[in-house]
Structure 1
Amino acid sequence: MKMKGQRVLMFVDDVFEDMELLYPYYRLIEEGAEVVVAGPEAGAVYKGKHGYPFRSTAAIADQQAGDFDLLVIAGGFAPDKLRRDPKVLELTREIFEAGKIVAHICHAGWIPISAKIMDGFTCTATPGIKDDLENAGATWVDEEVVVDRNQISSRKPDDLPAFCRAIIEQATR
């Protein structure tokens, strides 16, 4: 229970990458963290890219960055919708600016790009958003996990074990 007492924020919306939400969600709970999965509406059911449903535990609009120790963002196509919500960008930016961990996998990098926190960072993601990351000032590398200061990134569901190990290791330093 390495993360006992820590609060983690995750975002959810339709077409999230099922494994990239569920694997970290349960893995961080297993380590003792309290994980809040906020969607556009509290208690709404969102469908993953592969059809798995997930009920949000809170509304994005009701969250405050200061209530969380870190942010973990799942990929899929939900991040493209979520990054249009000013509150999602505000939470991401405030958690980042407080020096707390912002972890993103696959297409989730779209949210930190839109929050304007990628400039000068080395990261990874699906090659599909490589150009977006580089245009935002990041250096993209093809590695299973990259830790650069308070950002952790991974490419795809196959990288989830390394992604979660890095989150737990960094969150418990």
Structure 2
Amino acid sequence: MKGKRVLMFIENVFEDMELLYPYYRLIEAGAEVVVAGPKANTIYKGKNGYPFKSTAAITDQRAEDFDLLVIAGGFAPDKLRRDPKVQELTREIHEAGKVVAHICHGGWIPISAGIMDGFTCTSTPGIKDDLENAGAKWVDKEVVIDRNQISSRKPDDLPAFCKAIIELAAR
């Protein structure tokens, strides 16, 4: 992961573990991780109350500056998916063939970006219908890799999720 740049999105009510575990694991693996929120240098609170400060603003990001995108779950993706810039970044990273990884409710963002049609994925069962209505095939597995997309269901799947991200991004 040395030399790789990772984009993560943040907004209030993110799933604490699904943001923090990949954030630190990817840094540990040598990546530079940018956590972009609606505003730079702003503290956002997780679903379980853990605070995390954004390192950048979403509006200032360019897809070509990143090697992969990792999307945490919680209820933050429901807010973020409405942002045209979030949709654009997600779509452009995907269309460039770069890794797009999403966990739990994080799948809402790729749905709104229009990139799920024809992909096999997993998520929390709560958005299974949304993914299927977007053209994805949903399966109940701890991690699913389909071409440049990686998906997982919940915090318990984080070890397999992060391992898959690091392995696929290293190719």
TM-score by length of 2: 1.00
Match of 2:68 among 67, 70, 75: 70
- Counting only pairs closer than 5 Å after superposition, residues 19-168 of structure 1 correspond to structure 2 as 19-168=17-166
Q: Which runs of 5+ in 2 are unaligned?
A: none
**Distance across 2 between alignment mates of 1:118 and 1:92:** 11
TM-score by length of 1: 0.99
Give the Å deviation of 1:167.
Answer: 0.1
**Distance across 1 between alignment mates of 2:133 and 2:37:** 28
Alignment-derived partner of residue 11 in structure 1? 9
Aligned residues: 171
Give the Å deviation of 1:25.
Answer: 0.1
Deviations 1:53-95 (A, max 9, x none): 0000000000000000000000000000000000000000000
Q: Give me the identity figure in percent.
A: 85
Partner SS for 2:100: strand
Partner SS for 2:82: coil
Deviations 1:83-111 (A, max 9, x none): 00000000000000000000000000000
**Distance across 1 between alignment mates of 2:130 and 2:138:** 10
Q: Which runs of 4 or more aligned residues in structure 1 lie more than 6 Å from their structure 2 counterparts after TM superposition?
A: none
Write the letter of the residue equivalent to 2:147.
R
Q: Which runs of 5+ in 1 are unaligned?
A: none
**Distance across 1 between alignment mates of 2:94 and 2:119:** 12
Give the Å deviation of 1:40.
Answer: 0.1
